[in-house]
Structure 1
Amino acid sequence: MLVTLVLLVSISSAILISILIDAVKKHPYFAEAIRTYQLVEIPETPRSKGDIRRLRKYRALYKSAKRRLTLLFITHISLFSLVYVLMIFTVSLVSRSSEVVNIPVSIPFLSYMAETGVYRTHIYIVALIGFALPLYLVSRSVRFEQPGPRA
């Protein structure tokens, strides 16, 4: 019962992170920076007059977009850390005094067999596994497409 409750708390925390990160990314301030980063093509080293003109034209816009994307990255890390700490705090409140729980299968290097013949592990290991299961949602919401070669 406790293991199931901890898994539900950790999975819901990971889904909450995904929703929050997606909401922050869709905010107009950051959405404009993402669009700018995807659409503006600035060459690393200008080779022609057109490249130099393009570099002058888009330099301020590109710098602003880079700053916003850096702020977006810091915001993502802050949200992730905040929700992770909140999940650990919630798990500690739910588990109270039982730090070690019985589990049905062995987790290599993270569980041990007690004298009674059942596998035991720390409750935070179960929370970490439950948190990592839907992490694909978080990685998908953080990612944005790079501009491809234009024809």
Structure 2
Amino acid sequence: MALTRSGDQWHGETHEDLVEYFHATADGYPVDHVRESVCAGCGGRVFVIEFDESGSNAHRTCTSCGQLAYFLDSEEWWHPDPAEAKAHYILECPSCENDEFEAAVGFELHQNEIRDMALATRCTEDGLLGYCLERRNRVFPSLHLLDKA
């Protein structure tokens, strides 16, 4: 693996580095499962990621086939009329401004339910790793969210 750290920035070359990033930066919180984001339509692994005005809901668009999929339970919370939504923004790499990423979701389980979730990304241009969404679960039962990375 090529997970590297320089100051407060982490870089990786592969999806495996993205998975290792969860464990290297967990700060004592267990990450019980990590699920890679994979397009159900074509198997693509590179996405443009868009957030809603709250910053706690996101969806991804596959760069290979254009299929849109929501992360976790975001579809339930996404504003129903995009024209009325306050703001949407596309994730950009802070170091190179690229907008294409690999993504994975890390889950912390507690008593057979998902407690916390985090979306981490790897820039396909320069390999910068980062978290772009972290939150407590708000849906129970919750184990079906393991398949919504």
Range into which the TM-score falls when normalised by the shorter chain: under 0.3
User: RCO higher in 1 or 2 (8 Å CA, sep ≥ 6)?
Assistant: 1
The structure whose residues are more often helix, as a share, is 1
Whichever of the two has the greater Rg, that structure is 1
TM-score with structure 1 setting the length: 0.20
